[in-house]
Chain A
């Protein structure tokens, strides 16, 4: 039974994944900022800058808005916790992470959705105009992006007939020809759009803006400060890391450890880093080459992503 929970190996694999994503997520953000800066002819901040920001934020004082409730304090924890659990059970380094049997498409997508919802509630909790605006926009984008994500991943699951992510990867490893199947390529296109939307990159959102009319995510977390802001930022970075590495692994699973030996885990770690950095570079290039879309043009993009994913499923059903 390949799906059996392998306690020791699984725990190790999950821990590796957690550490990789928790550190790697912010580093990826830094990397992408660096790439953008270079492309624009600037030097840019060091790649490790996001990590330094996080450390600095952790030492700051905790500030709560006057009308805020316990939600404001809980939301960052939910964001991080949902990301942590999602990362821990996803097949990133090993196909047998802790609770890998539950690493279902729906679990991952809805864990991410839970995080988004928590963030949106956090934005609404302070009772300011900007928080509500950010929440509203973020939820709108999420409402359109999550379905596309779900359907795109389902497109990948058709050949193996399961919605369990580790099993999809195992099956893909066994059938290398699946990788170039048209449905997979369509799904890849859809997933890239979704990932950009989910992680708030240009052209969907500009992580660097504080211009009130354009910001989405930044508006939502405007009232956060100190350790809580650190958690929100970390959570977002982890989501980004998770999505990038999942996309990489779903399309190119090679290198992932199918056995819990130290060597294979090491190799898997290295290959994961390489694959994910590739994806990040790709996304960064897209960011460089495009301008942010108007908010109300976004649905067109996301609808495009959704249609792509549906097409992927249909193609998958036709060609199986």
Chain B
């Protein structure tokens, strides 16, 4: 069944490669969406029944063989990918134009979806690496889709390619170290033998694997590629990368740490959680100050994945502190947040694509007033942004509440390092909550409200039906998880038990809301929603009853200003300016002011240019010097081969003498 889903998606790739232009887009999208839905179905069935699917053949992949196994943990991530994948396919029908409709781009797109479905199912080192690298390859090429029009895409792709390859190398080495003493390379073998490895070896392997997966997940300081690559990809691809591909990093950490290495030691998970804390804060901070809409979303991904990692790390640490129930709770929170994030971030990236198509820009400083021309997109953005801001009764809130429950109850553990991590997690959760609110109030408020700041924004029109359907599809989880999180409790219990490799009695009981039994916590989002809606309805009725007339349209007052142009509005840059000042030490903004005076008097200015840039300080201070050193090394190495045959002969002569001295 799952293989059928994979092959349908793969056939979509083939169709995309062979069909002529017009049917190509539609057929591949239809097949892709069908395959994704099928995969969703398989994943759901596994999550409902708890059974495990396995498949092995030695006829594929020479020397190593090919194995797939889907357990509930994998199924959860397949559910995440397939849900977003289906939306991305449908979205692409309306979106694909120009380069994105080319044979190569479309088939790479479908291939990307295949790998996203297959990575959580891979159950041997070689199979995992195969799909992992295919995933990297296809997404990497997709970033380059529009490279002729967006030169930035090339540099972004270079960053992404280099970092993802280094990450894959790290993962590979870690996994191989695990297999080295165990015999087989299937996950079952590794898991069975890993306890026989020495503690140092296991820790070494885990750190390597963690580095690789954390880089894919976009954890700071390994995130630098992410805010470059995600924005440059075509929007359906960005949506998949940001929602599903980063989740694969999380999946890898859970799979290796909890399943293959049986939980390891506490400090592993403390490290994971600390990565999460740093990522959450750094991502949130940069998201508030980004003016490029997709860059903002990308940094927000770093933020949310940070929270997920806090949950995963907390779960691991608690499990190692003999608190399986609370660990289960934290893991559940992390998994729920993964799904919630996939949906709302997917929707937001798709919306960003819709906006870019409609206005020709994704620079918030050039947008404005889109709510009038693109009401459906605006609604999608409001719901998804609300979810990401953790507005109660939307998905982000339910997930973050669960996470907070896990962290708070983690306080009762005796081990001080663990408690400190829990505390840092709570602080990160609190701080990112506020910062995320700023970022997304800015994104929606500047992008959709007020007046258009450019002609592109002024002439925007609502997107095509398929794009709206896809965006709408992705808002469903934001609402459903938010309003009736209890629906997901049984599925999450299975996935989380499978993730932690332990069958504990889940503290979560199923209801319309979520009740953490024995631990004294509950939310009833449905009831809250009823309350909110009822109050609003009453208020609406009340205001209507006061006067029968509709509100009169007048010019904005603006403290009595007569002239008010769109240029006088606050922009995204100015909106974030106070926060940028507050966090100047971390963000290190660079501002240039250039004043040109009129010739007659220095007291009058002819023009004033202000430029404000925020570069990723970790990139500037950490990566750039490294690259510079490497390049210098490369340039100096060229002198080795200076063309003199005498020198070349001397190399060999010295080698010969060394051989004689050493051997003789």
Direct contact of A and B (CB under 8 A): yes
**How many chain A residues have a CB neighbour from B under 8 Å?**
89
Q: Report if B611 contacts A (CB, 8 A).
A: no
Q: Report if B249 contacts A (CB, 8 A).
A: no
A contact residues around B577 at 8 Å (CB): 136
Do the beta carbons of B532 and A82 come within 8 Å of each other? yes
Q: Report if B177 contacts A (CB, 8 A).
A: no
A228 to B441, CA, bound (A): 20
Cβ 8 A contact of B519, one of A63, A74, A162? A162
A73-B551, A117-B389, A167-B520 known; A107+B437 contact, CB < 8 A? no
A contact residues around B527 at 8 Å (CB): 99, 102
CB distance from A160 to the nearest CB of B (A): 8
Query: Which of B4-12, B102-110, B254-262, B553-561 lies at the interface?
Result: B553-561
Which residues from 560 to 598 on chain B have a C-beta closer than 8 Å to any C-beta of chain A? Answer: 561, 564, 566, 568-570, 574-579, 581-582
Q: Report if A65 contacts B (CB, 8 A).
A: yes
Query: Which of A31-39, A125-133, A257-265, A278-286 lies at the interface?
Result: A125-133
Cβ 8 A contact of B578, one of A116, A131, A136? A136
CB distance from B281 to the nearest CB of A (A): 11
Q: Is the interface of A mostly helix, strand, loop or mixed?
A: helix
Do the beta carbons of B392 and A114 come within 8 Å of each other? yes
Q: Report if B243 contacts A (CB, 8 A).
A: no
**How many chain B residues have a CB neighbour from A under 8 Å?**
87
Do the beta carbons of A104 and B520 come within 8 Å of each other? no
| Binary CB contact string for chain B from 537 to 564 against chain A (1 if under 8 A, 0 otherwise) | 0011011001101111111111101001
A contact residues around B524 at 8 Å (CB): 99, 101-102
Q: Report if B360 contacts A (CB, 8 A).
A: no
Do the beta carbons of A144 and B556 come within 8 Å of each other? no
A contact residues around B655 at 8 Å (CB): none
Cβ 8 A contact of B552, one of A63, A77, A123, A125? A63
CB distance from B143 to the nearest CB of A (A): 32
A65-B554, A82-B532 known; A228+B570 contact, CB < 8 A? no
Do the beta carbons of B578 and A164 come within 8 Å of each other? no
Cβ 8 A contact of A121, one of B369, B397, B438, B444? B444
A159 to B391, CA, bound (A): 27
Do the beta carbons of B520 and A124 come within 8 Å of each other? no
Do the beta carbons of B523 and A104 come within 8 Å of each other? yes
Q: Report if B631 contacts A (CB, 8 A).
A: no
A contact residues around B371 at 8 Å (CB): 69-71
Closest 9 CB pairs of A and B: A132-B570, A127-B450, A143-B434, A124-B445, A147-B430, A65-B556, A62-B551, A81-B535, A162-B520
Please name 4 further chain A to chain B contacts, defined as beta carbons within 8 Å, in addition to the given A69-B371, A128-B557, sorted by A numbering.
Answer: A85-B528, A125-B450, A128-B568, A132-B445
A residues within 8 Å of B by Cβ? 3, 58-59, 61-71, 73-74, 76-78, 80-82, 84-85, 88-89, 99, 101-102, 104-107, 109-111, 113-114, 116-117, 120-121, 123-133, 135-137, 139-140, 142-148, 150-151, 154, 157-158, 161-164, 167, 210, 212, 222-223, 227-228, 231, 295-296, 299, 310, 313-314, 317
A and B contact pairs by CB, cutoff 8 A, 9 listed:
A64-B552, A81-B531, A102-B523, A113-B390, A116-B437, A128-B569, A144-B582, A154-B426, A231-B539
